Amino acid sequence: MTKRTIDVNYLARVEGEGSLSVTLDGDRITELEFGIFEPPRFFEAFLQGRHFTEVPDITARICGICPIGYQTSSVNAMEDACNTAVTPEIDALRRLIYCGEWIESHALHVFLLHAPDFLGYESAIHMAKDFPDEVEMGLRIKKIGNSIVEVVGGREIHPINTRVGGFYRAPTTRQLEALIPELEWGLDAALQTAGLVSGFTFPELDRDHLFVAMRHPDEYAIARGRVVSSRGLDITAHEYEDHFTEQHVARSNALHSLTADGQAYHVGPMARFNLNFEQLTPHAADAATRAGLAPPVTNPFRSIAVRAIEIILAFEEALRIVRHYRPPDPAAIEVTPRAGTGYGVSEAPRGLLYHRYRIDADGLIEQARIVPPTSQNQPTIEADLHDLISANLSMADDDLTWQCEQAIRNYDPCISCATHFLDLRINRG
């Protein structure tokens, strides 16, 4: 067989920088490495010695795309450590700002990062020449998500209003009601989006995935809940590290997560959809039926359609919360530090985000541990790539390379979170 090498430098349309290197010996994959070369930033180390009230602002800086995720998991952990419960009004406002982040992040991924793959464009800007209405619709959906974050949080990126115990200042009823017309437009646009993306052609890629997501008895879990799996796991955040471990591999500045018995698992929209399907909001459930999506969805290329369903859900939830809004008073519960360990989880747009902190009696951090969704999905991404390449060996290098990139983007990997460079290389021997 003629030796072939494919080099694609820098995987595009992901948040961060990673690499894929594949070596083929005939029809056999001898090496497959999805590497992350984002320079390490050592958050867990420099959090030591910081005051527990500073942590939501600091951990937000791990990721410009999902700061609400980091803020929410960290306040959940701190409130757990200090044995404090917040009011239902604060919970509702946390869910609302998180819906804003889901809408903003999912619309970014669906329209600007992933749809161009399905339609054969290098970018959404190229795509906009032929699909101007669709790209403009996507940008407006994204903007509405951002405006929710801005109204509740002060600004879209690294919002300033979230604190341990609640919020610095509750938005007024009038401020939130002003969002309603755009939220109604957004819900309608999201329904159109689901119709649009479910009509794409999805490459074959079906595997038995172990799905892991949060679950809450009252709602499609976002900002609070237990951790469950498609194989019957049902635990609190306290027990997370008994069931999941992280490994450090040479090719990566991120850590890879596996289950305690060494299996890859899958977090994010597909996991949430499959595990919490019964709790979809009415329009989201209808749209799923029309899109032909029912659990278990096992082809990760369909994640774009699942994200569209979650955008619908986030709009419905945002509308419900805004219409029933009662400003929390006080805006925050006073939290007194005490020595101990706190555990917090939340569903970032890309999946489960776990935080653990040990604090001393003065509220200073002694130890921090953060497990972002992309580290958890990395082994699953590699397994997908393995299957995809094995099944498509006859494909031309350029096409196979693009499809591998698309398969990685199925997970909307945030390499800044997991730490970033995607340098895609396929070496055929």
Q: Which residues of the shown chain bind other proteins in the complex (CB under 8 A)?
A: 9-17, 38-46, 48, 50-51, 54, 57-58, 61-65, 67, 108, 112-113, 116, 122-126, 128, 135-136, 139-140, 142-143, 146, 154-158, 160-161, 163, 168-169, 247-250, 253, 255, 402, 405, 414, 416, 420
Cα–Cα distance, 181 to 188 (Å, whole number): 11
Residue 133 or residue 278: which is nearer to other proteins going by CB? 133
* Cβ 20 to other proteins shortest distance, Å: 14
Q: Six-digit token pair at 72?
A: 């929410």
* Cβ 211 to other proteins shortest distance, Å: 27
Residue 276 or residue 403: which is nearer to other proteins going by CB? 403
Residue 253 or residue 274: which is nearer to other proteins going by CB? 253
* Cβ 278 to other proteins shortest distance, Å: 34
Residue 74 or residue 274: which is nearer to other proteins going by CB? 74
Cα–Cα distance, 198 to 306 (Å, whole number): 9
Cα–Cα distance, 266 to 18 (Å, whole number): 19
Residue 172 CB: number of other CB atoms within 10 A?
12
* Cβ 109 to other proteins shortest distance, Å: 11
Taking alpha carbons only, the member of 300, 378, 394 closest to residue 24 is 394
Q: Letter for the amino acid at 101?
A: E
* Cβ 93 to other proteins shortest distance, Å: 13
Using a 10 angstrom Cβ sphere, with 0-12 exposed, 13-18 middle and 19 or more buried, the burial of residue 356 is buried
Cα–Cα distance, 182 to 178 (Å, whole number): 8
CA angle 139–144–149, rounded 5-degree value: 125
Residue 57 or residue 317: which is nearer to other proteins going by CB? 57
Greatest pairwise CA separation for the chain in angstroms: 72
* Cβ 58 to other proteins shortest distance, Å: 6
What SS3 state is found at 394?
A: coil
Residue 67 or residue 269: which is nearer to other proteins going by CB? 67
